[in-house]
Structure 1
Amino acid sequence: MQEIHRQINDWYSANARDLPWRRPGVTGWAVMVSEFMLQQTPVVRVQPVWEEWMRRWPRPQDLAAEPLSEALKAWGRLGYPRRAMRLHAAAIEITTEYNGIVPETEERLRTLPGVGEYTAAAIACFAYGQRTVVVDTNIRRVHARLFGAMALPEPNPRASEFARARQVQPEDTETANRWNISVMELGALICTARSPQCEACPVFEHCAWIKAGQPAPHYVPKGQAWKGTDRQVRGAIMAVLREHEEPVRRETFLADLARQEHAKFVALGKLEAPLEQRERALAGLLRDGLTIDDAAGVRLPS
């Protein structure tokens, strides 16, 4: 195990991407924002939004002072806008309960809106050097192949995976923290889900999956649908509201969108979403607190 630790950590030192939230001196808030944005969203889409976000709101109290609508607008097309809502709520709590400083421990981090087991462990480790066990999708996949001889991890995380992650982690805290990010990066760049570059892997000779003959996955991964889904329609409605300072009458979303001239309405119309789907998408956005529908019309929450 010590040899595996050394090889993967050395590989990371030589091959890690230069991402702004990994640079020396970044704040806990900078790391926290990156972890929220990176949930189910690739780095290439996150980085420009993160950079603009940190320019505008370099501290939690800066975001907390703004209405939620501004956070939702700045979130742009990252998707899953409830993350923006929860990050805004977390900024308020950090400002009021922690004097504007992101907590350092997993226990306290988990009390914040939108912060689960993984996010708490990642922030504590990457921002504050706390000894934690970080387990994301990339790490689960590397562990499944390297130690479990499986092409892919189970569809849903299991307790046994977290137990294995604790078992294989280096004893030294500094080495363990580097291991967390190194394995994650290996999964993102080399040990990918669809096209692993095994010939470039620093632990090729140790990999249980390679030794087993690279058996096929024991299930067929199901990609998350987007085209034609309620999520796509919700995103198109949010895009309209981000572009309008004034509320939009509910009837406008439910009418014949082909007559609308605004580019965002045209984009929504091109989806050809039936009336009942647009009604369902609007109802979901209202239920989630991402929009408000009052006498003036539909708008982002203030």
Structure 2
Amino acid sequence: MSLTLPLDLEALHHDVTGWFAAEGRDLPWRRPECSPWGVMVSEFMLQQTPVVRVLPVWEQWMERWPEPAALASEPSGEAVRAWGRLGYPRRALRLAEAARRITEEHGGRVPSTYADLLALPGVGSYTAAAISCFAFGIPETVVDTNIRRVHARLVGGRALPEPSYTAAEARLAAELMPSAGHDGAELGCAWNAAVMELGALVCTARSPRCGECPVAGACAWVAAGRPEPHYTPKGQAWAGTDRQLRGAMMAVLRASDAPVEAALLVEVASVDPVPAHVGAQSDPATEAEAALRRLRALPAADAQRRRCLQGLISDGLASETSHGVTLPH
């Protein structure tokens, strides 16, 4: 994929960033007063998780751990507990590890360069570029799913980007970035944020609102009559999967401030009442006990449950001692 349309890049940048200035959401990690750490936390949380779910958790997180050193001083299990139901809780472990590395190696300050960011636990190429751009104003080329979709439609004339990120998409993203100049850095960062927002709010995967798009007149997909996708996207199964079962087990451990017997997590036939200490921090009938009952109600055999519990332990998301299973120490 390359720039084959007679796109006026200067007009394109002007129209999209102008739309973003007027229509972009007021998110706390976008505000000037947000620290680089706040931006970094948001980027970890927003991986595969929508903004509406991230917002309350991010706010609670930043109130409790306003800087990396604050998180680094606590056990990893507290990060996993505070992660709540954002999903993919290994992100919480990696963020805690990154906080410790920042504290030990960078004087407690989030590094600004792409290379230093990429060296941190849990930071891949996208996250490194996004933090460098949105926290420090360095115009790295940022490409997420929303940006890929906008590029595919606007330039490629296709309903969806390729199933996996390609070298051609990377070249296109680089070509579409504003060129260096006296305001190139600021414009480049604004462009990244604006295209991402356009994909999230207007150029959506299932119900694009082309009538609200500031560049619909230049869009190759619209010009082609909005053809159907050239492949059928595969959705992720949830019911009955290990992911569902692991998530239910993590919910029990997050709600419990004392070790939980492994048998309660893996034996479907167990009908013993939930021990009172499982929910000692709150009403056991409303939190820990309810989480345990939801886990037991899932249609999964003991073998799958044991496999999932061992997987959580192997991944460092849970710890098992002679007293039972807890969040990691």
Normalising by the smaller structure, the TM-score range is over 0.9
Distance 1:42 1:51 in 2: 15
TM-score by length of 2: 0.90
CA contact (8 A) 1:145 1:209 kept: yes
Counterpart in the other structure of 2:234: 222
CA contact (8 A) 1:257 1:266 kept: no
Task: Find 1:175's aligned residue among 171, 184, 187.
Answer: 187
For the aligned residue pairs, the C-alpha RMSD in angstroms reads 0.9
Asked whether 1:274 is paired with 2:301, we answer yes
SS in 2 for 1:298: strand
What is the identity, as a one-letter code, of the residue corresponding to 2:291?
K
* Deviation string, structure 1 residues 152-180 (Cα, Å, up to 9, x no partner): 00011011111100001111221111000
What is the identity, as a one-letter code, of the residue corresponding to 1:286?
I
Counterpart in the other structure of 1:184: 196
Shifted more, 252-261 versus 271-280: the winner is 252-261
Asked whether 1:251 is paired with 2:259, we answer no
CA contact (8 A) 1:63 1:88 kept: yes
Task: Find 2:206's aligned residue among 189, 194, 206.
Answer: 194
> 5+ residue gaps in structure 1?
none
Asked whether 1:3 is paired with 2:11, we answer yes
Deviation at 1:259? Answer: 4.1
Distance 2:174 2:221 in 1: 20
CA contact (8 A) 2:69 2:99 kept: yes
What is the identity, as a one-letter code, of the residue corresponding to 1:278?
R
Asked whether 1:116 is paired with 2:103, we answer no
CA contact (8 A) 1:126 1:177 kept: yes
Shifted more, 47-56 versus 236-245: the winner is 236-245
CA contact (8 A) 1:60 1:95 kept: yes
CA contact (8 A) 2:266 2:309 kept: no
Counterpart in the other structure of 1:203: 215
CA contact (8 A) 2:260 2:324 kept: yes
SS in 1 for 2:150: helix
Q: Percent identity?
A: 57
CA contact (8 A) 1:260 1:266 kept: no
Distance 1:259 1:209 in 2: 59
Counterpart in the other structure of 2:161: 153
Asked whether 1:292 is paired with 2:319, we answer yes
Asked whether 1:64 is paired with 2:64, we answer no
Distance 2:247 2:231 in 1: 30
Distance 1:9 1:245 in 2: 48
What is the identity, as a one-letter code, of the residue corresponding to 2:300?
A
Task: Find 1:164's aligned residue among 157, 172, 191.
Answer: 172
SS in 2 for 1:88: helix
> 5+ residue gaps in structure 2?
1-8, 275-288
CA contact (8 A) 1:103 1:109 kept: yes
The number of aligned residues is 302
Distance 1:180 1:289 in 2: 34
